[in-house]
Amino acid sequence: MAVKVGVIGAGMIGADHIRRLTTVVNGAEVVAVTDIDAERAAEVASGAGARSLPTGQEVISADDVDAVLVTSPGFAHTDPVLGAIEAGKPVFCEKPLATTAEDCLRIVEVEMKHGRRLVQVGFMRRYDAGYRAMKRAVDAGEVGTPLMMHCVHRNATVPESYHSEMATHDTAIHEIDAVRWLLDDEIASAQVLKPRRTAKRFDHLQDPQIMLFETFSGARVDVEVFVNCQYGYDIKCEVVGETGTVQLADPEQPLLRTAGRAHTVVLQHWKDRFGQAYDVEIQEWIDSVANGRVLGPSSWDGYAAAMIGDATVEALHSGRIVGAGLKERPAFYG
Ligand code: NAP
């Protein structure tokens, strides 16, 4: 029997996940959609053969909704996630889990009180084939004990509304999760270096930034965030261990030979780079809901990302090394 999903937030990623649930994923059906813009909700719902409802609470409490997908903006995540836990329904929440670490911790505490995991956070790198291959190599000890990790996150351009703190909270949040997951280690502190700013974009923006993290076991991680690199969307990652290194493969593209040059294509948009990862992520979420056991990135991972993100932003402004100040991970989260 199909898992019946109610969706809160029918904007860009909400509509994309609805399309995915309707046309790509097996074993799912979208039955209800809400958005603060009722017209948009009605339009997106009708395209998926679902009904639109006026509020998130009505979606959560609808009898035919088995699981909830939260794709409203980050500031509007806490209430529907808490509402779904209180209703005992599994909930997939796009990143960030919440915009403050306090709200993330509140979700963690309510979920623990409920007694079983219901929340999955949308850290989709964990579902990308290239990252999964890296994870298998690290876990199998193929590169020995990890000592360092080098990451790059470049976007061609960002809009003028993008500000320096978003380099952490909207962009590097994916690397922060990937570091914790790949190394199976926790980030203890953050520092931010500010290279010469690109003249290609806005005065208000510190771009690029180099984030330096140290994990509890002493591994060192550098993350270059450069969101106006002009040439495309480019994600790189390498783990350096005691006996070898493992590098994220670039997505396969044809090698062209034309006009005396050999060249290949650089993808321009994150949707193209991670489209398949989203498909796998949502399929595995639906399968886990059907099996009664939510397994993906947890609300603890959402809380950790928020705490490390806050430390990184403080480091950006202060120029100091800032401790992440995470609480001890409860046994509930493995
Ligand atoms: P978006 O296009 O602005 O869509 C959000 C939708 O939610 C809009 O239609 C918005 O309406 C609506 N909304 C606002 N407040 C609401 C509320 N209280 N209840 C219900 N709907 C509400 O944003 P988006 O780009 O899809 O991003 C949504 C979330 O997904 C964000 O948290 C974002 O960080 C995350 N995201 C994750 C990834 C990833 O790689 N994992 C990628 C993209 C986005 P109005 O426009 O009228 O406000």
Residue with tokens 């397994």: 295
Residues 251, 319 within the same domain: yes
Contact (CB, 8 A) for 78 and 273? no
HEC readout, 230-273: CCCCEEEEEEEECCCEEECCCCCCCCEEECCEEECCCCCCHHHH
Kindly tell me if the per-residue pLDDT of 204 is higher than 90. Answer: yes
The span from the CA of 188 to the CA of 46, in Å, is 47
Residues 121, 178 within the same domain: no
pLDDT tens profile 60-81: 999 999 999 999 999 999 999 9
Residues 157, 243 within the same domain: yes
Contact (CB, 8 A) for 334 and 184? no
Q: What is the position in ligand 1's atom list of the atom closest to the CA of 74?
A: 32
Neighbouring C-beta atoms of residue 256, cutoff 10 Å: 11
Q: Is the CB of 122 under 6 A from ligand 1?
A: yes
For the segment 182-195, the average pLDDT, to the nearest whole number, is 98
Q: Is the CB of 9 under 6 A from ligand 1?
A: yes
Q: Is the CB of 76 under 6 A from ligand 1?
A: yes
Residues 91, 209 within the same domain: no
81: helix, strand or coil: helix
Residues 241, 314 within the same domain: yes
Q: What is the CATH number of the domain that holds 67?
A: 3.40.50.720
pLDDT tens profile 110-169: 999 999 999 999 999 999 999 999 999 999 999 999 999 999 999 999 999 999 999 999
Give the model's confidence band at 1: pLDDT under 50 very low, under 70 low, under 90 confident, else very high: confident
pLDDT in the model for residue 62: 98
pLDDT tens profile 11-43: 999 999 999 999 999 999 999 999 999 999 999
Contact (CB, 8 A) for 216 and 188? yes
Minimal-distance CA residue to ligand 1 atom 43: 13
Among 225, 246, 228, CA closest to 151: 225
pLDDT tens profile 288-334: 999 999 999 999 999 999 999 999 999 999 999 999 999 999 999 98
The span from the CA of 76 to the CA of 300, in Å, is 19
The span from the CA of 63 to the CA of 157, in Å, is 44
Residues 155, 86 within the same domain: no
The span from the CA of 100 to the CA of 92, in Å, is 18
pLDDT tens profile 219-234: 999 999 999 999 999 9
Residues 173, 209 within the same domain: yes
Residues 140, 121 within the same domain: no
pLDDT in the model for residue 334: 87
Minimal-distance CA residue to ligand 1 atom 40: 124
Structural domain including 309 reads 130-269+305-333
Measure 37 CA to ligand 1 centroid, in angstroms: 11
Q: What is the CATH number of the domain that holds 197?
A: 3.30.360.10
Q: What is the position in ligand 1's atom list of the atom closest to the CA of 16?
A: 26
Residues 112, 209 within the same domain: no
Minimal-distance CA residue to ligand 1 atom 9: 11
